[in-house]
A and B are shown apart, each in its own frame.
Chain A
Amino acid sequence: GQQLNQSPQSMFIQEGEDVSMNCTSSSIFNTWLWYKQEPGEGPVLLIALYKAGELTSNGRLTAQFGITRKDSFLNISASIPSDVGIYFCAGRASGSARQLTFGSGTQLTVLP
């Protein structure tokens, strides 16, 4: 089956810094999604990407669908304490119908 490698596994940054994380897959994906999970909650959709090369922003968050269709990036600019959480990438491979494959998550800690 498809595998997603998400990195880094964890990040400790100072408030105000920019953050980058990425996911790579072993196969071509048609859709990339980025979710954020806060403690005690379910994952919340941040950004959805549907086309290779697509660059989409949501406030201070920007995500890109890689040209090769095997990777995606999420950037957070000017981080704030409420950015703390686990960020997951998820992708849907061609022919996998509704099935999403999730990355292992990036635990983000923002230090004041």
Chain B
Amino acid sequence: DTAVSQTPKYLVTQMGNDKSIKCEQNLGHDTMYWYKQDSKKFLKIMFSYNNKELIINETVPNRFSPKSPDKAHLNLHINSLELGDSAVYFCASSTPAGETQYFGPGTRLLVL
């Protein structure tokens, strides 16, 4: 069974479109995260939700909006996609203490 899953794995879209990425975890964790990994492989936190509440919101354009329908799901919606949004987006989850985080397989977004 996959612990943290994301869909889709690949996403190719045109500039200006709106797209969503979905994440689900079956680890029973309360906290979930979205990270962006750029072309240099640098991992940067974007958002964190604890039990459906936003707790970390780094400096991210407001075109990015996370939504957590329940504590096992954290989706990421991106409006008006730009070329610079091309990256790999990782979902992760952890226990409330956040001591260790478990990552999904990533969504490779390419904006043309």
Contacts and interface: CB of A to CB of B under 8 A. Distances in A.
Contacts, number: 61
Contacts of B4: 42
A45 B41 contact: no
Contacts of B50: 98
A23 interface: no
A75 to B, nearest CB: 20
B106 A97 contact: no
A19 interface: no
A98 B98 contact: yes
Chain A interface SS verdict (over half): strand
A102 interface: yes
B103 A43 contact: yes
B66 interface: no
Interface of B: 4, 31, 33, 40-45, 48, 50, 55-56, 90, 92, 94, 96-106
Interface of A: 31, 33, 35, 37, 40-45, 48, 50, 86, 88, 90, 92, 97-100, 102, 104-105, 107
29 contacts: A33-B100, A35-B103, A42-B4, A42-B92, A42-B105, A42-B106, A43-B43, A43-B103, A44-B103, A45-B100, A50-B99, A92-B98, A92-B99, A97-B98, A98-B31, A98-B48, A98-B50, A98-B55, A98-B94, A98-B96, A98-B97, A99-B48, A99-B98, A102-B42, A102-B44, A104-B40, A104-B41, A104-B42, A105-B42
